Amino acid sequence: MADDERPTSEPSREGRVALVTGVTGGIGRAVTRGLLDAGYAVVGTVRDRSRASTAELDPGRTGRLVLVEADMTDTERLHAVAEAAADPFGPVDVLLPIAGVGDVRALDEISPEDWERTLRVNLTAPFVLAQALLPGMVERGWGRIVFTSSVAAFTGGFVGPHYAASKAGLHGLVHALSARAAAHGVTVNAIAPALIADTAMIDGMPSSVPTPPVGRLGRPDEVAQLTLAVLGNAYLTGQVLLLEGGSRPS
């Protein structure tokens, strides 16, 4: 396709299908609602299907949300989720791996099991899903992948080196995958939030962590707004976008 013929923005969100992991978390819930409001169909993963409500996540009763149970540490299950995600609505156009773990640990408190679990959930699971879904996006000539990183990947953060390392690894994925997919209409980016209210991460935040210069914590809906903007931009790829209230000026 010639440069002047290639679309510069998303032509229509109606009918686009997104696979979102961790839809019951603060950010996952806000992103899911934002996608549904924008016209996407969503296949969302939860840890326990019996404790998740489609009605709560889709108050508008759009009928465009299906929940599936998945353990982010179970690679075999993730392959099955990726394969079956097209069943309800059609091929997956958008991958948003939001599910994550971040137990606060000092260096000498991190066990091999802590390290392994954190990397499996925060880095391996997004990779496995991208590996499964990116080829189809490339074949169809359109797709979006947005990983959920953290400002900790730049600063080390307060959670611990296991968490910071897992999030920094996503940046390598962004650069490697975006370079291979860009010419096929597929963009790959990451959003790196910090200090977002109504998330499990905030529950473990030490009192010594300063409030961002904007004077408050971020909101999950602000992460959702940025996510939707990234999905709608066909020229933005290979980037990690900070969303941190000015706490780490570039």
Of 145, 163, 195, 228, the active-site residue reads 163
Q: Confirm whether 40 is a catalytic residue.
A: no
Please give, one letter per residue, the 3-state secondary structure of the chain: CCCCCCCCECCCCCCCEEEEECCCCHHHHHHHHHHHHHCCEEEEEECCHHHCCHHHHCCCCCCCEEEEECCCCCHHHHHHHHHHCHHHHCCCCEEEECCCCCCCCCHHHCCHHHHHHHHHHHHHHHHHHHHHHHHHHHHHCCEEEEEECCCHHHHCCCCCHHHHHHHHHHHHHHHHHHHHHHHHCEEEEEEEECCECCCHHHHCCCCCCCCCCCCCCECHHHHHHHHHHHHCECCCCCCEEEECCCCCCC
For residues 115 and 168, give the distance between their C-alpha atoms in angstroms, rounded to a whole number: 14
The number of angstroms, rounded, from the C-alpha of 92 to the middle of its chain's C-alpha atoms is 14
φ, ψ of residue 188 to 5 degrees: the values are -135, 120
Question: What positions carry a catalytic annotation?
Answer: 163
